[in-house]
Structure 1
Amino acid sequence: MKNLHTRRHLLKTMGSGILACGLSGRSWGQSAESGVYGKRAAEVMAHTHENFWLKKRDLYKGAIDKDDPDFIWGGGVMFSAVVAATRHDPKYKSIMRKYFEGMEVYWDTKVKIPGYEPSPTAGGGNDKYYDDNAWMVIMFLEAYEMSGESRYLKRATEVLEFVMSGWDEVGGGGIWWHEKHTGDSKNTCVNAPAAVGCFRLSKFCEPKEAPKYIADGGKIVKWTTKTLRGGNSLFGDAINVVTGQVNGGQLTYNSAMMLRAYTCLYSLTGEDIYLDEAKKMGVAAKAFTDSKTGQYRDSIKWSHLMVEADLELYRWTKEDYLLKRAKTDCDFHYEAWKKEPAKDLITNGGLARQLWLMADMETAAGRDFWKKSDKLRR
């Protein structure tokens, strides 16, 4: 209880600094015809595994006409699809294990702080992207929640250590995009998932370590909100810390992950101010949609994360427009895939991931998993 009180006090004192910078009665299962998305997800997943899996390497290749494993970014998206599939089909649990082990060829231990290189490495590399690694933290924690296997929690903790090593006070704070400071930029695409990773890891770490992770997540949210949030409540891409110039271009995945960071803060504190901010982003995200079709305008490698954010916010608010928007995007991309399946891994993996998340809405197992997962308070 003392630890819980300490964490709540910490979060309440963070609130004003961060922010200085109609509920529906519809039940989950009424949102879609039962089983539709599970069948679609299984179809896309089976196609992807059959056509992209490299049996001798326990990895997925990046393109259907290539035999080389994908970069770790695409591989991470596919891992998220495998994790989600495991909730619905037990056969994917062994694939999840194999894939996790296969990705060891990217894991560089011959450096001061280990991390994932973009490509398979012999070790001692210096081409690591902090954002590639930040995504893996979240997915490994989800794998741990589902399986209870400590390997995933251990690796999530290790990867987050590498990600946080990219934070410094140049430009007032923030995590660099690349370990060699390529482009002189600090980007939303690393800071936002890093914050989510910090908040979510605080659920599983030793109680005495939780305040540190929450504080780290809080300072990341504060810096990113102050530095990269636009006047429309959505988030720009990056700041060049040498020139001070902000790239205000807005991609779905940046705002999606900041929305999730704020829902995490709400789940940790129960403070409505955080949920209100997330709701503002949810409404503003309409700007990302096509006015004719309603689907997200960005490539699915970015936009599948906005679908995930919509569903997470829906679980808290039950606001129908969020579920409708997620469904519209999933339906649009699935129909396009049926006509001509994508030839790259990241598009197939992103589609499979969002379809499995919709399938979670159709099943008691999926709904129960997220009910437990969203509630981060001990």
Structure 2
Amino acid sequence: MRHTKRLLTALLASTVVAGCDGAGETDMAPAAAVRADKVQSWVSLRLNTYHSFGVTTPNYTNRVLRHYESLARTDVIGASEADASFRVVPGLADASCYSLQSKNYPDRYLRHSASRIRIDPRDNTRLFDEDATWCTRPGLSGQGVSLESFNLPGRYMRHVNAEVWLAQKGGSLPSDTATSFEADASWNAVTQANSDFKAWADETLNKIEQDFRKPGSNLYYENTDRQGTAFHWPAGVQLHALIAGGRIAQAEAFANEMHTAYWCNTKSRWGYNASAYSCGDRYFDDNAWVAKGLMELFLKTNNATYLNRAKETLAFSMSGENTAGGSIRWREGDTSGTCLCATAPTTVANLMLYRATGTQQYLNDGLRLYNWVKANQFGYGPGYRGYENAVMTQAALLLFKITGNYTYLDDARHLGFAMETTYIDWQTHALKETGQWGGHDMTNAYVDLYEVTGDINWLNIATGYLQFVRDNGKDANGRYPETWSDVGKAGAPGLLYQASAARAFARMSNTRGGTPKKRDPVAVFKDCNYTGTWGGGLWIGRYTLADMKFRGIPGKDISSVRVQPGYKVTFYENDNFTGASLVKTADDGCLVGAGWNDRVNSLVVEAVSPTVVIHNDCNFTSPGINLPVGSYNEENLRALGFSPDVISSIQVADGYEAVLYDGGYFDQTSLTTGTNSCLVGAGWNDKAASLIVRKK
């Protein structure tokens, strides 16, 4: 390897010298003369997002493309993230191709010069722009993407002995060697979705500072008219946004001035008032939300001041509990009534304080409130809001962490699915809810679900509606609408709505990011014409009435169905797949005509001609996905909603086989298998991180 490296270095030096007074490879005719054909990229990359490019060559898939001292090279994963991150932008020489902009040196781009790949500052010459433009092609090895030079067609970005070169298979340079050329010139392009969310969060937080920040103060105005100080609820959401956005010093300054402006004593009790610099209008829900924020701030800073304030704030919210116990009223002075919007965050604040202090009373109070809400069926559906269910999801996850009781984890998963069915548009991914009454709290819940279960599907759900509101909701002034499914409307002028978007983006930026969900094979809807107050997608699987309800789909309530090509659904009139049945292999906008309106009590979703179906439970009992012939690395699986290392059973059609790999990119140990109802026996349960489906 050292000998080869010396040869390449010597060649680089001689090529550079020749380029001074001779015809080097970058001294060729302009691109118009080189490429008379219409160039374009054949593999789409998402613009204005950061990508990493992983090596696909077997035994080297733990390496990624990066820059070091201006030269491109590959290093093992774990190298400087910024060095290995490149923003995909329209090609500097041709917008139908791409250029790759360095993350930590944004004035520099990946380009070729004297056959070596490097990063250099743009010098505004046509030659540089052509050298820094890459046209994507399907991976030469059959996987990933290959990056073809714009002005030297037929030459590709290729790694050799950890260095990265512009190479042509069978050419005259050592880097042109035909050995493993296709694999070396194929890259696994992975979108760093969290970088999008970080940029969006920072952009929104900066816009809030511009539109709402009070001069000479850490407080904010209520609206863009800059007339009055924000009410306590939007101030609390902004506190959460600052914390999630990593602006901890600013969050502390804000929390401290909030305490001065809103904290007051009346009726022999301390609590936060709804408006600043006054007292007598206090809400149990507003205080509970801020108690949660203070606990987040305590966990970030370990400053006991915020812990003590959270205790005092929670005490105020608990003073609103009804005499019968288990529910919190809305407003101080109310003598009756129950408010889920106050009970849910008060439950979570109790559980957060229990985990921080170990004080049993907090757990007792949290459990009592939780059980009351659960007895009232969590309140999802018409008349209830997404944020109420989202916060109860967080409560269930906290109880699972505290007790280890999987009933609470099932509660959280049930709510996660039911929220998707109730509030998220199956086709567009739009969130049919407002930001303040769903957006940021549902994002908190889905991120928490992912962090506890490792199921990428939860991040994919949140990514879908966040990307929708970013792409369709943001107005010309950089503001977001109140309702996140609105398209083309002016952004809402209140702090509450903008802080909600900022918190959601910032919360997602602290994860690995996701991919908007692919359309499920089958989706069912409450009303005809694919409408109604709920509509839910389903993977391959068998769904009893209990399974349907677990996903927020009631029995005897389906009126229309969408079926993707290659799939079918069998409806049953009774539970457990009994009674009269109806098979659908295509969309039906109204089941009235078939005599099946509001009649379904169980159903089965299948592929018409399955190849390989993978499941994350043994005996094919969990919903699964069908994989046609092809290669599926860990990122491909995540994009399909299937996390690596969770496959427990696999169904393989006759004439096919699956090759499972322990590594995420077809590396490490492997197992070639047919149908296996439980991979535990083969020592492969929850082990496969990538796989290949092929004919025998």
Q: How far 1:84 moved relative to its partner? A: 1.1
Q: Counterpart in 2 of 1:349?
A: 499
The reply to whether residue 219 of structure 1 matches residue 368 of structure 2 is yes
Q: Counterpart in 2 of 1:36?
A: 196
Counterparts of 1:285 and 1:298, CA distance in 2: 11
Matches within 5 A, 1:14-25: none
Which of the two has higher C-alpha Rg?
A: 2
Counterparts of 1:314 and 1:147, CA distance in 2: 24
- Look up the equivalent residue of 2:470 and give its one-letter code: Y
More strand as a share of residues? 2
Counterparts of 2:301 and 2:215, CA distance in 1: 23
Pick one of 249, 261, 266 that aligns with 1:105. 261
The reply to whether residue 295 of structure 1 matches residue 451 of structure 2 is no
Structure 2 SS opposite 1:114: strand
Pick one of 275, 282, 299 that aligns with 2:416. 282
Q: Counterpart in 2 of 1:77?
A: 237
Aligned CA distance change for structure 1 residues 63 and 192 (closer, same or farther; 3 Å): same
Pick one of 277, 283, 303 that aligns with 1:149. 303
Contact 2:443 2:508 in 1 (8 A): no
Matches within 5 A, 1:119-268: 119-123=275-279, 125=280, 127-170=281-324, 173-181=326-334, 184-205=336-357, 207=358, 210-226=359-375, 228-229=376-377, 234-235=378-379, 249-268=383-402
Encode CA deviations 1:264-285: one digit per residue, 9 max, x unaligned. 1000011111101111111111
Aligned CA distance change for structure 1 residues 213 and 80 (closer, same or farther; 3 Å): same
Contact 2:326 2:370 in 1 (8 A): no
Q: How far 1:339 moved relative to its partner? A: 4.0
Contact 2:355 2:402 in 1 (8 A): no
Aligned CA distance change for structure 1 residues 332 and 181 (closer, same or farther; 3 Å): same
Q: Counterpart in 1 of 2:453?
A: 317
Contact 2:200 2:505 in 1 (8 A): yes
Percent sequence identity over matched residues? 27
- Look up the equivalent residue of 2:255 and give its one-letter code: F
Counterparts of 1:150 and 1:225, CA distance in 2: 32
The reply to whether residue 117 of structure 1 matches residue 273 of structure 2 is yes
Contact 2:380 2:418 in 1 (8 A): no
- Compare 94-103 and 261-270 and name the one that shifted more: 94-103
The number of residue pairs the alignment matches comes to 308
Counterparts of 1:47 and 1:271, CA distance in 2: 43
Counterparts of 1:173 and 1:361, CA distance in 2: 34
Q: Which runs of 4+ in 1 moved over 3 A?
A: 29-34
Contact 1:188 1:236 in 2 (8 A): no
Counterparts of 2:194 and 2:309, CA distance in 1: 36
Normalising by structure 1, we get a TM-score of: 0.77
RMSD (CA atoms) = 2.1
> Per chain length, whose mean CA-contact separation is higher, i.e. which structure has more relative contact order (CA < 8 Å, sep 6+)?
1
Contact 1:259 1:282 in 2 (8 A): yes
Aligned CA distance change for structure 1 residues 220 and 31 (closer, same or farther; 3 Å): farther
Q: Counterpart in 1 of 2:562?
A: none
Pick one of 223, 232, 248 that aligns with 1:93. 248
- Look up the equivalent residue of 2:249 and give its one-letter code: S
Contact 1:308 1:357 in 2 (8 A): yes
- Look up the equivalent residue of 2:474 and give its one-letter code: W
Encode CA deviations 1:299-358: one digit per residue, 9 max, x unaligned. 111122111101111111222321111111211222222544132111110111111111
Counterparts of 2:416 and 2:495, CA distance in 1: 28
More helix as a share of residues? 1
Aligned CA distance change for structure 1 residues 359 and 162 (closer, same or farther; 3 Å): same
Q: Counterpart in 2 of 1:334?
A: 470
- Look up the equivalent residue of 2:502 and give its one-letter code: A
Q: How far 1:112 moved relative to its partner? A: 1.4
| Residue segments in structure 1 that go unaligned for 5+ positions in a row | 1-28, 87-91, 238-247, 364-378
Counterparts of 2:443 and 2:253, CA distance in 1: 27
| Residue segments in structure 2 that go unaligned for 5+ positions in a row | 1-80, 82-189, 480-490, 514-696
Contact 1:334 1:351 in 2 (8 A): no
- Look up the equivalent residue of 1:350 and give its one-letter code: S
Q: How far 1:292 moved relative to its partner? A: 3.3
